[in-house]
Structure 1
Amino acid sequence: MPAPSTGDPARRSRRFVPDAGTGGTADPADLCLVVAGRRLLGGAHGPLPSVADLPAETEWVPLGSLDGARVWATGLPSVDERLGDWHSWPALAGRLGEPLAALAGRAMQVITWRRTHRFCGACATELADVPGEHARRCPACELYVPMQLSPAVLTAITRTSTAGRPQLLLVRHTYGPTAIWALVAGFVEAGETLEDAVHREVAEEVGLDVHDVVYFGSQPWAMSGPGVVLAGFTARAATQAEPVVDGREIAEARWFDLDDLPAELPAAYSISRWLIEHQRTGRSDPQ
C-alpha cells in the first residue's frame, strides 16, 4: 500500500520528485536546504529558505523538484547564527509536514553522506563526484561509491486479549526519546529479507513469535543517519503472548487497548505514528 499522507489536501497535492540532475542552475526563488552538522536552517519568510537568502558563491547540490521547481541543498562546516534560526530535523519536520519533511530529510542525508564519504576506502585518494548521481568515484582505482540505503523495519504488533479487546504492543527504549511509547524496530542484516528482520527483531527485543506479517509502507528517516529507510509492517501475536524485554534496547513493553492508547506517541509525521493510527482507526491516513 502507498505510504500514508498527512491528511491535509493541500499537502497531499504537492509532489517532491528526487533526482541528482546536473542540468540548470539555481534560481534565486528556488527553495533550498542548508545543513550544518545535524541542524537545518529555517526560512526567514517561509517554511524554508530560498537560494536568494544565501551568499552568491554558495555551492549547490541538486535534490530534485517540488511541484516542478528545482530544490537545492548545501552544507556548511558549522551553524552560522547570522543566517537565521536552526532546527533539528525532527523539529523542522514537525513544523513542515509532508512533503517538505521528506525533502528536508533528503537534504540531511545527502549532505551528511557527502561530508562523510570524501576519500576512497581502498586507496585513500580523494573521491570525485559522478555527474547526475549522488555517487562518487575514485580517480585512482576506479572504486564506485554510491549513496547506499540502510533499510530498517518497524512493526505494529496486535493481539486480541482474553476479554476480546484488540490491543497494540508499544515499547519504551533505553535511548533517544525514552518517554515515547513506540514500535519495535531494528536494522535489516545482510542476507535477510524484510520479513525475516521483523521476526528476528521482535524475538530479540520483546521475545514474541508473530504471524500474519504484512507490509504497510515506507519512509526515509533522516534522524537515524544517511540512507536510512524505514519499512513498516503489521503483525499478529497470540492472545496469551506476553513481552519479555531484552533490557538493552527496550526498557519497557506493554499491551494497550486500541481505544486507550497513551498520549506519549511518536510524532504525527512519522511512519511509526501512521502505523499506530492505522491500527486504531483502520485508515492509512492518521488525519
Structure 2
Amino acid sequence: MTAPFRLGALPTLARSTVDRQETLRTNPDRLLSRWPQAQVVLLDDRSRTPVRDGEVSVATRKALSFGDVPPEDAVFLGEWQGVDYWSLPGAPEGEPELVRLKGSWGLIEEIPKIGDELWVDLRSHGDRLDDTSAGLFTTAQALRHWHRQARFCTRCGGGTTRIQFGWATRCEQCGREEYPRTDPAIICLVHDDAGVNGEQVLLARQPIWPKGRYSVLAGFVEAGESLENCVTREIREEAGTEVWDVRYLGSQPWPFPRSIMLGFAARADASLPLRPAEGEIEEALWVSRGEVRAAFESGGEPVPIADGASTMILPGNASIARVMLEAWAYADSGV
C-alpha cells in the first residue's frame, strides 16, 4: 500500500558531525590546552568563508596563527575527530579576482577568489560542502548574526560581554545572561487530496523574486501558537485556502539571520480558487507532479508549466524546500 511521502535525504544545512555539547564550551582549561592544535573557520563581513577550488571542505586556518590563546571574539564551534574548531572574523588578503559561479536558484554570482580559495556564502554554496564543513559553516553564521544583535542587555540596556566562548553573553550592569536566539518558522508542502500523496502541489512566488522562481509556502510562528496552527494560518493568509491532515516532515537551521525551518506536509482542495495575499504573494498556483519532476531534471533551467505563459525554477539545493519537493515528486516512483 502506498505510504505518505517522507524526506528522502537530510536537508543540506541540517548536516553536521561536530560535537557541540555544553560541557565542552564550559571547560576553559580543556579549550585553552587544545587551542594550539585547533582549527579556525573564517567569516568575512558578508559571512563568506574560504573553500579551496574543487574541494568540498572549508579551508580552515591554524589557531596559533591568531595568537597563543583564543582572541576575545573567537567562538567555539565544537570538536570533531580530536580537533577543536573555532570561528573568527577574517577577509581575503590582497585584491581578489572575481569569478562567476552558478549559485542558489541557478543564478550566476560573482565570487572573490584569492589564489586557489573561493570565498563563498552559505545560502548559495552550502550544499556543495561535506557534512562537517556544512555544520561548521551553519553554526558559525548563526552565532555571528546573534552576536551582532546581542551587544546590549534586553533588560537594562547595558553593554554585554561574551561568555562560554561565544555561546552566551552577560550584561555588565545587571548580570543577566542571554543565549543565542532561534526564530521558529514553518514551511509546508501542500498537495491536493488525490490518493495518498496527491497529484498536484501548491507553489507560490514572492514579488521580489526573479520571474519564474517558485517554492512552497512558509512563515514565522507567532507568540502563543502551535506549529500545526501556524501551518493552517499561514497557508490561509498567503494562499487563501484551508488545509488539513498536517504532518511533520523534518527541520533545518536557516541562519538568515536566525531561523529554524520546520517542514510539514498538508492537504487542500485544488478545485477551490486561490487568493494570494496582496503585496506578499505575487502568484500561487497548482503544479503537477510531472512538471515538478521536469524541473528537477532540467539541470536548473526554467521549464514551462501548464498555463503556457509561465516557466518555473525550483528552490536551490541549500533549502529544505527542495528536499521536500523532491521527496513528494518522486514518491512511489522507485527513484
User: How many angstroms apart in 2 are the aligned matches of 1:232 and 1:6?
Assistant: 10
Give, in angstroms, the shift of residue 149 of structure 1. 1.2
Give, in angstroms, the shift of residue 109 of structure 1. 1.0
Give, in angstroms, the shift of residue 43 of structure 1. 3.0
Q: How many residues are paired up?
A: 276
- Percent of residue pairs identical: 27
CA contact (8 A) 1:153 1:188 kept: yes
Note the 1:142-221 alignment, pairs <5 A. Answer: 142-160=175-193, 166-176=199-209, 179-221=212-254
Note the 1:1-287 alignment, pairs <5 A. Answer: 4-5=9-10, 15-19=17-21, 21=25, 22=28, 23-25=30-32, 30-44=38-52, 46=55, 47-52=57-62, 55-57=65-67, 59=71, 60-76=74-90, 79-82=91-94, 84-96=117-129, 98-131=131-164, 134-160=167-193, 166-176=199-209, 179-222=212-255, 224-226=256-258, 228-261=259-292, 263=295, 264-282=313-331
CA contact (8 A) 1:43 1:49 kept: yes
Shift in alpha-carbon separation, 1:240–1:279, aligned structure 2, 3 A:
same
Shift in alpha-carbon separation, 1:123–1:251, aligned structure 2, 3 A:
same
Give, in angstroms, the shift of residue 71 of structure 1. 1.9
**Partner amino acid for 1:72?**
W
**Partner amino acid for 2:17?**
R
Query: Aligned to 1:181, what secondary structure does the other structure show?
Result: coil
User: How many angstroms apart in 1 are the aligned matches of 2:254 and 2:157?
Assistant: 29
Once the two structures are superposed, residues 40-67 of structure 1 have per-residue CA deviations (whole angstroms, 9 ceiling, x without a partner) of: 2213485212232884237331111334
CA contact (8 A) 1:39 1:86 kept: no
User: How many angstroms apart in 1 are the aligned matches of 2:165 and 2:35?
Assistant: 19
User: How many angstroms apart in 2 are the aligned matches of 1:170 and 1:81?
Assistant: 43
User: How many angstroms apart in 1 are the aligned matches of 2:270 and 2:86?
Assistant: 51
Query: Aligned to 1:17, what secondary structure does the other structure show?
Result: coil
**Partner amino acid for 2:247?**
V
CA contact (8 A) 2:17 2:131 kept: no
Shift in alpha-carbon separation, 1:115–1:97, aligned structure 2, 3 A:
same
User: How many angstroms apart in 2 are the aligned matches of 1:2 and 1:191?
Assistant: 28
CA contact (8 A) 2:253 2:261 kept: yes
Shift in alpha-carbon separation, 1:68–1:55, aligned structure 2, 3 A:
closer
CA contact (8 A) 1:175 1:249 kept: no
User: How many angstroms apart in 2 are the aligned matches of 1:132 and 1:152?
Assistant: 28
Shift in alpha-carbon separation, 1:109–1:272, aligned structure 2, 3 A:
same
User: How many angstroms apart in 2 are the aligned matches of 1:210 and 1:52?
Assistant: 52
**Partner amino acid for 1:237?**
A
- TM-score w.r.t. length of structure 2: 0.72
Once the two structures are superposed, residues 151-174 of structure 1 have per-residue CA deviations (whole angstroms, 9 ceiling, x without a partner) of: 000000000469x97101111112
Is there any run of 5+ residues in structure 2 with no aligned partner, and where? Answer: 1-5, 95-113, 296-312
CA contact (8 A) 1:5 1:98 kept: no
User: How many angstroms apart in 2 are the aligned matches of 1:193 and 1:165?
Assistant: 25
Give, in angstroms, the shift of residue 276 of structure 1. 0.6
- TM-score w.r.t. length of structure 1: 0.83
Superposition RMSD on alpha carbons, in Å? Answer: 3.2
Give, in angstroms, the shift of residue 111 of structure 1. 1.4
Once the two structures are superposed, residues 179-202 of structure 1 have per-residue CA deviations (whole angstroms, 9 ceiling, x without a partner) of: 421110011111111111111110
Is there any run of 5+ residues in structure 1 with no aligned partner, and where? Answer: none
